[in-house]
Structure 1
Amino acid sequence: MSRGNWSAKDMREARELDVLRSENEVLPLWLREQQSRFAEWVRENEGQWDFSPQSLDRLEAVVRTRFRREDDFNGHDGEAFLQVAAWYLGEVHNRCRGTQWQVHPGAKGHYRWKSYPFVIPPWERLDDYEDADGIDYDARPIVDPLGSLRLILPEPYERLEPGRTLRSELDAYEPGDDRAGDG
């Protein structure tokens, strides 16, 4: 569905939401916190951390070493290891696929995040994506990095989504592709 099919009100509301998710007081706090932790995270997780697509294979291995099952992951999503890992994953998307960080406007707090940031193509690329069902006006793929880390765990997801990798999510930004998550 192209912008031409939107009512003026729909277009205005969608744009306002996009701005609210991009420009709020919570997002820069979270981004700065993760960026400031990154050097220590790298020391603890040796390897090549150059924000390349190939580095996502290493990220996946590091996460899978620490967490085997979803039950192991639960309750740790607010901890520095996973928060920095999620930030790193999102930054690879931003640098390699031109996405940007956003967070839902209701998110608040500093250490107890109500809603975690996600990456999405910028508003200017809105017309690059169409919802195959014609339901959503905004069909840009949204990737929730923390959710992606959870989904690559060997158990039980391995049986549900064979072949899913962190690197394969980068393919979701091809125009017209709806393989990414919906945040």
Structure 2
Amino acid sequence: MTSQTPSPAAQRAEFQAFLSNMPVKLGSFVAADLPRSITVGEGEEKEFRKDFSPASLPWVEAYTLAKLPAPAAVAAPENQPFSEGVIRYVGETLLRTVGGTWDTDPEGGTGDGMPFIRPDSPAGEAAGQPISLISLLMTAAQQRRGDVFVTALAGALSEFGEEGAPFRSSTGIDLSAGGEKPTQVEQDHLDAFLSGVEPAIAAWIQEQGGGMEVWQYGREALDRLAADLRERYDSAGDMDDPDEQAYLAGAVRYAGEVIRRAGLGTWRFGAEASAEDPHAGQPYVRFAGTDGAEGFDVVPRQELRRTLDDASALVDAYDRATAARPAV
């Protein structure tokens, strides 16, 4: 953290990036940072609960306390990715139960400069008392009771009274765009894939040279990638060369992530698609339909191949994703 307070415009941009990155960041946190199982009692293995249910909050808080031994550890540079993951998880879990939306306060008065949630209340959508996730995390790390997260949820639910109930469960981010949730087979592939998206992109960018100044997450960079592909390959068949797979794996993740961020799509994996299906064995990005329009998928590897015949294939996919971007 710097001593300089970002401008309201910069804070709003950071907030949009926070929302845009939610599927990858939160998916990676659940897959890579939270354990699959824990040992209890006399060596009994139990599946770690991380399904965004209210019952998962004590599990996540207990594990958080084990990782963060004191409040000062929350902001320690080496722990910041984990702390942000906890904030994302707890916020999304609360929203799925009580409804509401993510928000930010450019003045820093609410949320302590971090994204926070505005839960629903009987007064209306997002009309409840704002909940600062960083404050919850700091309180949990200080009090070390193990029930801070679930108590915050109970407080938001209590607004509806004994016989009342939230009128929706919602969030600004749909982690399963397109309606159906991944099967367990697909989820297993996604768990492995999502945790490696950002490291793979960083390594790929370093290999290409120019850094993030050249390879920004935008339309212009996709034009650059298209030019590189057309110079590197004479035909789509050249992409099947085993020596090209490392380069293409990075390009698939980079192009897919640029396009996904443009439309707030969701990474999926064609783990069970038939062999003739372009999705088969491939990561792809799903975009939910908005305003009555049908949803659609973008398979990055297919778009890379199409680029050799159509130089605008990648930017066309980017433009389509941008047009489908839901309001947040």
Residue among 120, 132, 140 paired with 2:295: 140
Aligned to 1:38: 201
Question: CA 1:127 to 1:86, structure 2 compared with 1: closer, same or farther past 3 Å?
Answer: same
- Please provide the CA RMSD for this pair: 2.9
Residues 87/129 of structure 1: CA separation in 2 closer, same or farther (3 Å cut)? farther
CA distance in 2 between partners of 1:28 and 1:164 (Å) = 32
For residues 10-67 of structure 1, what are the alpha-carbon distances to aligned partners after superposition, in whole Å with 9 as ceiling and x for unaligned?
Answer: xxxx84xx21169701013123334323233212212311211111111112222321
Secondary structure of 2:317's aligned partner: helix
Q: Measure, in 1, the Cα distance between the counterparts of 2:260 and 2:229.
A: 20
Bigger radius of gyration: 2
Kept in 2, the 8 Å contact 1:21–1:102? The answer is no
SS at match of 1:101: strand
What is the alpha-carbon distance in structure 2 between the residues aligned to residue 77 and residue 169 of structure 1? 27
Match of 1:70 among 236, 253, 269: 236
Q: Give the secondary structure class of the aligned counterpart of 1:56.
A: helix
Q: Which residue of 2 aligns with 1:117?
A: 283
Q: For 1:89 and 1:105, how far apart are their aligned partners in 2?
A: 20
2:268–2:283 CA contact under 8 A, matched in 1: yes
The structure with the greater share of residues assigned to strand is: 2
Could you say which residue in structure 1 is the equivalent of 2:189?
A: 26
Provide the residue aligned with 1:9 in structure 2: none
Give the 5 Å matches for 1:1-183: 15=179, 18-20=180-182, 24-47=187-210, 48-76=214-242, 79-106=245-272, 115-122=281-288, 126-130=289-293, 139-153=294-308, 157-158=309-310, 164-173=312-321, 174=323
Preserved contact between residue 256 and residue 285 of structure 2 (Cα < 8 Å): yes
Deviates further, 20-29 or 142-151? 20-29
Q: Percent identity?
A: 27
Higher relative contact order (CA 8 A, sep 6+): 1
Task: Provide TM-score, normalisation by structure 1.
Answer: 0.63
Provide closer, same or farther for how the CA distance between residues 52 and 24 of structure 1 changes in structure 2, counting only shifts above 3 A: same
Cα deviation for residue 118 of structure 1 reads 0.7
C-alpha spacing 1:121/1:73, structure 2 compared with 1 (3 Å): same
**Do 1:100 and 1:120's aligned partners in 2 also have CA atoms closer than 8 Å?**
yes
Q: Does the 8 Å CA contact 2:264/2:287 hold for their aligned counterparts? A: yes
Report SS of the residue matched to 1:142.
Answer: strand
**Number of residues paired by the alignment?**
137
SS state of the match for residue 219, structure 2? coil
Q: Quote the offset at 1:93 in angstroms.
A: 1.4
Q: Displacement of 1:145 after TM fit?
A: 0.4
Unaligned runs of at least 5 residues, structure 2: 1-177, 274-278
Aligned-pair distance for 1:146?
A: 0.5
8 A contact 2:270–2:280 mirrored in 1:
no
Deviation string 1:114-149 (CA, Å, 9 cap, x unpaired) is 511111114xxx35354xxxxxxxx31211000000
